[in-house]
A and B are shown apart, each in its own frame.
Chain A
């Protein structure tokens, strides 16, 4: 994985501290071209990996990337699935079974219900596989070397003790897409423990890691110890803690931590993208020279 990954929250009105900023972003990135322009700024800043949720609009972005193979030759996408709000809003309205009926493709569920067949364990896993395939359709022909499970699903399964599903996700992504599975989580120490027990070695885990301990369940010290002692490929997200700390202070902290392979950040303006990328490189350089 590259040292710096570019995120997509800014494109889809995800702002963890301000609904007003969300709205401003949603207006700014109304056109797909505005997203492409920002991605191009990231590429110019030397960032060639875009980590994005499987939002409907990403399909359009993928189409533009496919149409310009020369320009995006080295460009990689790390899909993060599912776009949870689509399902969460559907569950509120349709219930869990209703949502599955709506989103699992074909007549898969229909035939299961009609037949009243005893549900075999295999069927749930293939239902998951169908959902993964649906989410992956938009990325056809695009280089997707790592495929992530979004934190709301990872953490839901984690709390429920459904580690077999986490392991099945890992296996299917490898088998079908020849990609590595990644897990986004807000509960890094607990997830590592469960994946280790499940026999997944050196997993890719993306987690909130920042100087103020924001969204670091169990506390910053436990995270720092986990980074020192556990074997995994870490990606730090929410490094700026949604703007609670200055970028300089925030990035100096994260760059100084062990076992963080990549840093994920999103930004809307050319200046912010360049500034953040060069700060990361600067602190990395300082650490090497020390």
Chain B
């Protein structure tokens, strides 16, 4: 049994908590939040010990691992504290406010030999992993362009302020929404090396951008476009899509549907020349407890398994999330 604590019971925190609560190998030994209301409800209706101070929780509950799902600006300090106490850490995305902070944490986790993971859940989605397999097979030929897109209805009218509308606290469409797409591009194609230029446009928000449009250049010298907008209410929920163009084929994938075009007969097994359409039902791996999508349970399970030594700590590591933070910085600089 892995003893797990959680700091920050907001939207993602509550979701992690529910998945952890149902996980057969995890025991939730403490939950920490600053909201009296949230804490009081958890205290009354859940079996989890609740705390308003995370230091107190660590002292009393002595967790093996902690989930950190507080606003981004607090990640650095809290994660550093956890690592120095030799606690395994799962942090929410984006990783840190600056790449410098992230680099320090990457190094510390490595030094201490601790399991570290960040919540970029797209890497646990079957369709995107199949994209990785196809790219590894080389069957779409040399990649010459990509388009990474994400759209959704988060800020669709002028509203009150909170930390998500404050850039210095990690708010805005770039850190919250675009980070997912950047991380996916980093993972599937190659890490971002250079940003030619960017537009960070506010639509309804004041002080932060609601959309991000960028020209990216990757370490493997492929270039492409990033287009993200969280003020688009023609979408029911966040929808992330990646289009990859190669000299011998093309891939269009989102979380549900994978479309691949091959120019030649030389295709991976299960595919033929021309268009191929596959669905998440072909790739989704069954989970023991389902909450909002297989990927949310799968990432938590992977983290627990990594602590148990059953899987390598190589998915969504601090290092890969730090590279996404680097790209975010480059985008800001180019805007």
Interchain CB contact under 8 A, B153 and A89: yes
Interchain CB contact under 8 A, A217 and B18: no
The answer to the question of A232 belonging to the interface, with a C-beta cut-off of 8 Å to chain B, is: no
Interchain CB contact under 8 A, A242 and B154: no
Selected from B11, B35, B241, B281, the residue in CB contact (under 8 A) with A88 is: B11
The answer to the question of B279 belonging to the interface, with a C-beta cut-off of 8 Å to chain A, is: yes
Q: How far is the CB of A114 from chain B (nearest CB, A)?
A: 13
Cα A212 to Cα B46 in complex, Å, equals 34
The residues in A between 1 and 46 inclusive whose CB is less than 8 angstroms from any CB of B are 12-20, 22-23, 26
The answer to the question of A219 belonging to the interface, with a C-beta cut-off of 8 Å to chain B, is: yes
Interchain CB contact under 8 A, B281 and A96: no
The answer to the question of B217 belonging to the interface, with a C-beta cut-off of 8 Å to chain A, is: no
Selected from B159, B241, B254, B289, the residue in CB contact (under 8 A) with A187 is: B289
The answer to the question of B265 belonging to the interface, with a C-beta cut-off of 8 Å to chain A, is: no
The answer to the question of B292 belonging to the interface, with a C-beta cut-off of 8 Å to chain A, is: yes
Q: How far is the CB of B72 from chain A (nearest CB, A)?
A: 14
Interface residues contributed by chain B, number (CB under 8 Å): 50
Q: Which residues of B contact A218 (CB under 8 A)?
A: 286, 288
Interchain CB contact under 8 A, B288 and A152: no
Q: Which residues of B contact A162 (CB under 8 A)?
A: 45-46
Selected from B153, B164, B279, B287, the residue in CB contact (under 8 A) with A244 is: B279
Interchain CB contact under 8 A, B159 and A93: yes
Interchain CB contact under 8 A, A217 and B290: yes
In this complex, what residue of B is CB-closest to A16?
Answer: B256
Selected from A18, A89, A165, A187, the residue in CB contact (under 8 A) with B257 is: A18
The answer to the question of A95 belonging to the interface, with a C-beta cut-off of 8 Å to chain B, is: yes
Interchain CB contact under 8 A, B289 and A190: yes
Please judge, given known A-B contacts A85-B237, A187-B22, whether A156 and B45 are in contact too, CB under 8 Å.
no
Interchain CB contact under 8 A, A97 and B239: no
Write out, one digit per residue, whether chain A residues 115-132 have a CB within 8 A of any chain B CB (1) or not (0): 000010100100000000
Q: How far is the CB of A108 from chain B (nearest CB, A)?
A: 13
Q: How far is the CB of A185 from chain B (nearest CB, A)?
A: 9
Q: Which residues of B contact A13 (CB under 8 A)?
A: 236
Q: Which residues of A contact B115 (CB under 8 A)?
A: none
Cα A216 to Cα B284 in complex, Å, equals 11
Q: Which residues of A contact B291 (CB under 8 A)?
A: 152, 155-156, 159, 186
Write out, one digit per residue, whether chain B residues 253-270 have a CB within 8 A of any chain A CB (1) or not (0): 010110000000000000
Q: Which residues of B contact A214 (CB under 8 A)?
A: 281, 284
Best-buried of B15, B45, B257 by chain A (most CB within 10 Å): B45
Write out, one digit per residue, whether chain B residues 30-66 have a CB within 8 A of any chain A CB (1) or not (0): 0000010110111011111000000000000000000
| 5 tightest Cβ-Cβ pairs between the two chains A and B | A159-B18, A244-B281, A186-B290, A17-B279, A159-B22
Residues of B within 8 A of A (CB): 10-11, 14-15, 17-22, 35, 37-38, 40-42, 44-48, 152-155, 159-160, 162, 164, 176, 234, 236-237, 239, 241, 254, 256-257, 279-282, 284, 286-292
